[in-house]
Structure 1
């Protein structure tokens, strides 16, 4: 029998056997090394401790995960996912000089999106790594949880680190529109994110049913929840929503009232839009003024923000540095239907209206408000007119409003063509946000314009790190078929005398990485292709 307690052994191990000799079974053994005595005593103590344990009551086994009948990933794609997840865990996206290796951490979102289009299920062995990746990066969560499927919820119930999956829900597991009892139960008992997901999904299937569901609990919801629920009505917004939104104009939350007013102004036939149009017309007219040559636009901004204007969503207090009258005027014009101005200006087209001179330096405020109205009302004709053609090379780049938002309204091909012409004229310094709204993969002319502009910057000896953001976009958005055409850019070039020192090698690395990434993207997409069906036997 052992004489020493486990606590004595731990003390000897912590202090060292030179300072505290371990008590040994049967008394000390001078011939034994003290460290050996400690290990022998620990071995005997371990057996004793285990032998003295009473077996605990077995817990109930967890219920099996819901079945997932989706097809499994092709073997090559499964291995690729394992590599992408392993690179993420190893810190593949670390900062510093990247060299020529593709950034696998940035390819993971693309892989997940592409896999989602095929409806695959994640391999069970990779689910823990996949959930860890989704936990670390919120931009991955939707696609990662969709790939993980019902097993993600099952694992989240067992591991607190993955509880975010319960809050976010999993696409495809919400009740179908034809199951009102399940919908009602999830709406009444679900987590907030699950309720938002349910409302958004139901909105796309049956907008009226989604609105009725929201109405049923509206007065009992928290203000921040009401705001998020109201925002989900943007999808499928229609005149049928107007009575509910008019009611929300009197909500006790200022943010809810402002959102309701914004949604109503996006309905050109709503009563609020008509009220805003009447106010805006009283501020804007066509005529001859002292400070405008010939016929132009005359502006008389409001002198006060009355209670009716506040109820319709006009914020009475301007931000710092903005005049009150200009602030109120911009909000009125932004909320008025754009068709108002065609009538107000004698049937002129948007291009003709925008070309009219504006008196008393009101043009920036008026045109900026029209830009916001075009974005809110999703009007491509006004967006096209406000954008105009890309500025000429000698002209300064000073478009009114936010060009990226205006471009997002245009069809994909027209959007890409406009940005390509802009880059060909002005380079990349002003085009980053515009590139972000173009469809992926970039159309051929846009991709060639980006690469040509990068090549010109390299030949000019420009500082290469200034273009790292655009180069990163190109790695993600260029058509992989462009890889072979770009190989000629991977060679190092002579640096101009006035160029940045060392820029040539950095540019060569950047183009080598771009080509390598495009080739890897092409391989990744090919790996996800379902295997061809076997040919029938002859």
Structure 2
């Protein structure tokens, strides 16, 4: 290697920081004194080369570090070779590289990755070791991928995460920071609960709650008084999973918490336990406010909203101050009815939920009363009341007698079984089209049941034939790519042909629709291939 010539007037050493500063500012703006008599850029590069050699040659060998302990073996069977190659292709796709572009006919591979991960994990396969870095990088960039990636990647991913700070998110999502932890070891659990980071403690509480609900509750109660308000709120929220009557004493104590948000969350959880004392108190209050008037021929619901929010109501989670634009009395009424057990009303009036919802409501209280029942049906996961409030999907106003928004209808649908949910949304689309169906489709099980898939495809075809603006359906088309049953690909073949462009169609609409249907068909076939590669029938 040839030696670097150094002019005789060059200083023996220039601080590295000074060289970096001159390089960043530029030699035109900051001419160094050691560059006199020759071109400043050349002098800068010469000195940088000399200083680099000096810094590297001056390093002294250090003692070897302790080798990390080998990771626990992954006993799951390896992926089939075709599925391993598919995973590499899915991980190589990045937004903006072609697959993520919504124009064209190529599938969006990154949008198929979550589905592939769920299938591979359900089949019990282990990932190839060489794919783990790319999997962790993908999860680092997309938080929605993290649960699926970590479940599929297994213990080796946590082992790698301890060696690379960029992957520390994986440690925060596992109790003990990815270290082996046995919830059955009380001393180990106690130490982590007392000394762990907040994210580790949340993960620990969730893991313990899934196995030993009583132990998780006792662990939380032991340090409850010393926790910060925002931490108490997060810990209390973890009790939603597996909520049971045995949680009631702890939640009743939380009703006296000094944090308003903690009190409200405790009250919400108690109201989801129909047999709790709070639910009984709310039922008594709500029954005073709503009654059936049988004196005027047709039975009618009459409402007398509360005139004040007393301390007892406030302790039980009723917020006294309404949002802007809401009246106080209607605000208090809604909270009481929402927290009362839904079984209160059929037992009191001897009518089914559908018959109760069909009753007229006096003095324009219907919207407020039905909206509160909607929230109660979602909170208490009551499918009977959800059906009554949704009404038939072909109803003229499309929302039934109680649903006041698409978001509320979607929540009511989430309490029904998968098949019933799909049938209702299919009927909604057949009557009202796709313009308002996006949120409803989001709560349907994947892959979509055959009636729902047919309804979506038929509605898209009708929209294309009508010359509709195609970009307004891009969200539904994206959902269809991920959620349609791959068996529907055969039915779509006829829709990939290029039709004649209507005179009143938007410019470029026909080409966009054709590309979208071709991409949909290609994606469904790719999903079918993915399932076959993983051994899915």
Partner of 2:300: 296
2:355 is equivalent to residue 352 of structure 1: yes
Residue 415 of structure 1 and its aligned partner are, at CA, apart by 0.8
2:481 is equivalent to residue 475 of structure 1: yes
- After superposition, residues 387-398 of structure 1 pair within 5 angstroms as 387-392=390-395, 395-398=396-399
- After superposition, residues 393-404 of structure 1 pair within 5 angstroms as 395-399=396-400, 400-401=402-403, 402-404=408-410
Name the stretch that deviates more: 123-132 or 277-286.
Answer: 123-132
User: Gaps (5+ residues) in structure 2?
Assistant: 36-40
For the aligned residues, what is the CA RMSD? Answer: 3.2
Residue 3 of structure 1 and its aligned partner are, at CA, apart by 5.4
Residue 323 of structure 1 and its aligned partner are, at CA, apart by 0.6
TM-score by length of 1: 0.87
Partner of 1:318: 322
Name the stretch that deviates more: 79-88 or 447-456.
Answer: 79-88
2:199 is equivalent to residue 190 of structure 1: no
Counterpart secondary structure, 1:297 = strand
Tell me the distance in 2 between the aligned counterparts of 1:276 and 1:122.
52
Residue 199 of structure 1 and its aligned partner are, at CA, apart by 2.1
Partner of 2:218: 212
- After superposition, residues 409-448 of structure 1 pair within 5 angstroms as 409-448=415-454
Residue 90 of structure 1 and its aligned partner are, at CA, apart by 6.2
2:253 is equivalent to residue 247 of structure 1: yes
| Number of equivalenced pairs | 513
Q: Work out which of the residue numbers 196, 200, 203 in structure 1 matches 2:206.
A: 200
User: Gaps (5+ residues) in structure 1?
Assistant: 24-34, 533-538
Q: Work out which of the residue numbers 219, 228, 235 in structure 2 matches 1:229.
A: 235
TM-score by length of 2: 0.88
Counterpart secondary structure, 2:116 = helix
CA contact (8 A) 2:399 2:409 kept: no
2:336 is equivalent to residue 332 of structure 1: yes
Residue 7 of structure 1 and its aligned partner are, at CA, apart by 5.1
CA contact (8 A) 1:150 1:173 kept: no
Tell me the distance in 1 between the aligned counterparts of 2:15 and 2:188.
60
Q: Deviations over 1:16-36 (max 9, x none)?
A: 9xx99x99xxxxxxxxxxx99
Partner of 2:66: 60
Tell me the distance in 2 between the aligned counterparts of 1:264 and 1:115.
38
2:119 is equivalent to residue 114 of structure 1: yes
Tell me the distance in 2 between the aligned counterparts of 1:524 and 1:452.
26
- Change in Cα spacing, 1:351 to 1:457, as seen in structure 2 (3 Å) is same
Partner of 2:311: 307
Residue 142 of structure 1 and its aligned partner are, at CA, apart by 0.9
Q: Deviations over 1:203-240 (max 9, x none)?
A: 22222222122212222222112111111111221111
Q: Deviations over 1:134-173 (max 9, x none)?
A: 1111000111122222232222222222211121128997
Tell me the distance in 1 between the aligned counterparts of 2:439 and 2:191.
42
2:158 is equivalent to residue 157 of structure 1: no
- Change in Cα spacing, 1:276 to 1:143, as seen in structure 2 (3 Å) is same
Name the stretch that deviates more: 60-69 or 159-168.
Answer: 60-69
Residue 184 of structure 1 and its aligned partner are, at CA, apart by 2.7
